[in-house]
Amino acid sequence: MRRSFGSDNHAGVHPAVFDALRRVNDGDVPAYGHDAYTVGVARKVAALFGKKAEAFFVFNGTAANVISIRAVCRPHQGIICAETAHINTDECGAPEWNAGVKLLPVPTPDGKLTPALVERRLGGRGDEHRTQPRLVSISQATEVGTVYTPNELKELSASCHAHGLLLHMDGARLSNAASTLGVSIGEAAAGTDLVSFGGTKNGLMAGEAVIVNDPALATELLFLRKQSMQLSSKMRYLAAQFDAFLTDDLWLANARHANAMAQLLSKGIVRFPGFELAWPTQANGVFVRMPADLVEPLQKEYFFYLWDETVPIARLMCHFNTAEEDVRGFLAVVDRLSGARTVR
């Protein structure tokens, strides 16, 4: 079967995750995360982020983002985010509807916020007519495949805190970012107050975790998760997935492979005429400008989305199960189509 380059969500579930699910599928245990196994795994996940951190498993990434926002924002407050942020473009208004807050999107050259970009959005503080920024939300890796360096995070975090803002990280692809940077998951999220820690895009069946670095927020989370309909009664099955994720650094092996496949694809595709990277390939996504007349024939052979139809820019996602032959097969089709085009 040909692999899709449509999304890291198009991948199946890693076999080690299924094994972990099977292992916990025995006997009766207390529900809602009150069993000793789930408590232990939640502690292990939290420990990745620091001594004070606590972890709350949820079903999906949109919920992790919404719950994070609900934990810290009042209805008159706003969230500064990149225009390209998933919370702004791909969550059907879930943050606005469920958290009752306004998003304050900022155009960025590469999907990343900087202290200067955030500061430009701080006008009107103290003015009762204006939404009051409270939270800055960034994505690691970003939606356009770029990665914040630890230094960039440090500067952004210091600037946010100096302005009385909290920093949230949408870490749907945090594993991929950590792998690129060659640092731990905690370091790839350093300086943040809340993290939506992703697993589903990197080999889990369905599992994300909200991480908070403040015990007061942890108390809020307990209630907000339930009220947001994300408290699993059979929580051991979410815990088991994260257990597998951390065992023998499965998260890293999966992310490293996905990123390597993206590098192979990225380096291969720019050799063809009219293909040019829109942003550097720093995680598991390749964003490439491509000849408009090749979009349809290429999409007939491989599934992928256009990030921007007007240019056009293709978004090619790799995942833990993308095989080298998938990438080489894709490049061979590009080669064939490009060759036919040049001859014409």
Ligand X SMILES: Cc1ncc(COP(=O)(O)O)c(C=O)c1O
Token pair of 30, please?
A: 């207390």
Kindly tell me the burial class for residue 297, based on how many C-beta atoms sit within 10 Å of its own C-beta (0-12, 13-18, 19 or more): middle
Distance from C-alpha of 336 to C-alpha of 5, rounded to nearest angstrom: 18
Contact 102, 131 (CB under 8 A): yes
> What distance in Å separates the CA atoms of residue 17 and residue 23, rounded to the nearest whole number?
10
- The footprint of ligand X on residues 17-46 (CB under 6 A) is none
- CB of 160: closest distance to ligand X in angstroms? 19
CB of residue 51 to ligand X, shortest distance in Å: 27
Among 70, 86, 102, 134, binds ligand X (CB under 6 A): 86
Should residue 62 be labelled a site residue for ligand X when binding is judged by CB under 6 A? yes
Taking the CB of residue 247, how many other CB atoms lie within 10 A of it?
A: 13
Separation CA 132–CA 147 (nearest Å): 28
Residues 115-144 that bind ligand X (CB under 6 A): 139, 143
Residue 149 in contact with ligand X, rule: CB under 6 A: no
Establish if 60 lies at the interface with ligand X (CB under 6 A).
Answer: yes
- Pick 38 or 139: Cβ nearer ligand X: 139
Pairwise CA distance, residues 252 & 246, whole Å = 9
Question: Kindly report the CA angle at 78 between 77 and 80, in degrees rounded to 5?
Answer: 150
111 φ, ψ to 5°? 80, -5
Of 320, 300, 299, 321, nearest to 309 (Cα)? 299
* Nearest to ligand X of 139, 322 (CB atom): 139
Nearest approach, Cβ of residue 200 and ligand X (Å):
6
Q: Given the complex with ligand X, which of 62 and 132 has the nearer CB atom?
A: 62
Number of residues that bind ligand X (CB under 6 A): 9
- Given candidates 61, 95, 191, 207, which one binds ligand X under the rule CB under 6 A? 61
Q: What is the DSSP string of 257-325?
A: HHHHHHHHHHHHHTTSTT-EESS---SSEEEEE--HHHHHHHHHHS--EEEETTTTEEEEE--TT--HH
For the CB of residue 30, give the shortest distance to ligand X in the complex, in Å: 27
Q: How far is the CB of 205 from ligand X (least distance, A)?
A: 12
Q: Is 95 in the site for ligand X (CB under 6 A)?
A: no
Q: Does 242 bind ligand X (CB under 6 A)?
A: no
Query: Which stretch, 55-63, 70-78, 257-265, 298-306, contacts ligand X (CB under 6 A)?
Result: 55-63
What is the smallest separation between the CB atom of 138 and ligand X, expressed in angstroms?
10
- Can you give the binding site for ligand X, defined by CB under 6 A? 60-62, 86, 139, 143, 170, 172, 200
